[in-house]
Amino acid sequence: MPHKVCPSCSKSNGCRTMVCECGHNFFGDTETKSVVEVKKNPFSIHERFHFIEQLVGMVATGQQCSAIITGKGGLGKSYTVVKALEDRGLSNVSGRETACSDYDTYRIVKGYSTAKGLYRTLFDNQNNIIVFDDTDAVLDHDVSLNILKAALDSYSQRIINWNAEMKGDELPREFEFKGRIIFISNRSHHSIDQAIRSRSMMVDLTMTNEEMIERMDYIACQPSFMPEIEAPVKADSVKFLSDHLDEIKDISLRTLISVIKIRNNGGEWEKFAHYIISTMPSAA
């Protein structure tokens, strides 16, 4: 019997409109009888977002050296982490190309990184907070994982070593890492290396589609969310998504933003919105 391949992680799955083990929602093989349901978390989605704020606060104050935030993309993980850091007075130095050793700063790292690139990032930011946002490549490479294990160790001194040749580079062969690390990943928490999980505290935001609508309704009511749009327009958009939930391939906050823009434009907005949500690709 054929299996559908998840478009986000390319893993083969025997399920219909459910969730791959990577955490992505997708439409599976309609002939497949094995259906994998998303189990509802005993803690509400709003509680878990609050847990993120608490955990990031512990990292910001040095009570915890690392945190892992997992769950599908597009529902505010990165925003929540950054806001929690800034609420505690930390400054973003992501735009600076030079190293920063200030204890009250954080740097966001995105995209691909080699093991050596990771080593340099840790060295250049050895005293501050590093937020790895969707840099899953560092979690897949054995050398990178060993470097991260050293950075997240529970010893009083966390010494990181690079025992390989470094041509034309001024990086030391070892240094003490006093910084803290926050991982933000769209993966399922089950796919994170066990050694990394055991050295960190984790909040998982995997949620059902109904919980996603619940979260969107909460976000849409916040004055800071698309403040130029009137509240009834945002409420109509959330209701529209709730009414058409079974037709959406992969719902995210980006889906809500698109529908709000269409609703705000007026006219036969529901037909247009229905067409747009039916053609939207999976969230990444």
**pLDDT over 90 (residue 131):** yes
248: pLDDT strictly greater than 70: yes
- Is residue 218 packed enough to be buried (19+ CB in 10 Å), middle (13-18) or exposed (0-12)? middle
Share above pLDDT 70 across residues of the chain, in percent, rounded to a whole number: 81
pLDDT at 168: 65
Same domain, 93 and 199: yes
Same domain, 65 and 200: yes
Q: Is the pLDDT of residue 98 over 50?
A: yes
Q: Is 233 found in the same domain as 170?
A: no
pLDDT reading at 27 higher than 50: no
Rounded to 10°, the helix 209-220/231-243 angle is 170
Residue 112 included in any domain: yes
> Of all residues in the chain, what percent are helix, strand and coil, respectively (each to 5)?
40, 15, 45
- 198 or 156, which is more confident? 198
**In whole numbers, what is the pLDDT of the chain averaged over residues?**
83
* Amino acid 244: pLDDT: 93
Smallest CA-to-CA distance from 207 within 81, 76, 110, 114 is with: 76
Residues 139 and 252 in one domain: no
Res 137: pLDDT? 85
Which residues have CB under 8 Å from 49's CB, separation 6+?
76, 80, 205, 215
Would 14 be classed as within a structural domain? yes
- The domain containing residue 247 runs over which residues? 209-279
E strands present in 134-179? 159-161, 174-176
E-state strands within 186-281: 201-204
> Coil, helix or strand for 68?
strand
**116 pLDDT above the threshold of 50:** yes
Alpha-carbon distance 66 to 183, whole Å? 8
Which residue reads 């809500």 in tokens?
256
Structural contact between residues 93 and 107, judged by C-beta atoms closer than 8 angstroms: yes
Q: Where are the beta strands (DSSP E) in 111-189?
A: 129-133, 159-161, 174-176, 180-185
Of 182, 173, 229, 178, which is closest to residue 201 (Cα–Cα)?
Answer: 182
In a domain, 284, yes or no: no
Q: What is the pLDDT of residue 57?
A: 96
Question: pLDDT higher for 281 or 34?
Answer: 281
- Among the listed residues 198, 159, 151, the one whose alpha carbon sits nearest the alpha carbon of residue 176: 159
* Interaxial angle between packed helices 45-60 and 209-220, expressed in degrees from 0 to 180 and rounded to the nearest 10: 70
The angle formed by the CA atoms of residues 30, 34 and 38, to the nearest 5 degrees, is 95
More confident site: 281 or 74: 74
Most confident option among 97-106, 216-225, 261-270: 261-270
For the cut 80, the answer to whether the pLDDT of residue 39 exceeds it is no
Residues 69 and 180 both lie in one domain:
yes
pLDDT at 11 over 90: no
Q: Please write the tens of the pLDDT for every residue from 164-185.
A: 877 767 889 999 999 999 999 9
61 lies in the same domain as 170: yes
- Count Cα neighbours of 265 within 13 Å in the Cβ-side half-sphere: 12
pLDDT above 70: residue 38: no
For the stretch 223-231, contacts whose Cβ atoms lie closer than 8 Å and that sit 24 or more positions apart, written own/partner, are 226/257, 226/260, 229/260, 229/264, 230/264
Question: Which residues is 183 bridged to in the sheet?
Answer: 68, 132
> What is the mean pLDDT of the segment spanning 189-203?
91
Give this prediction's pTM.
0.77
- Does residue 268 carry a pLDDT above 70? yes
Residue 246 lies in a domain: yes
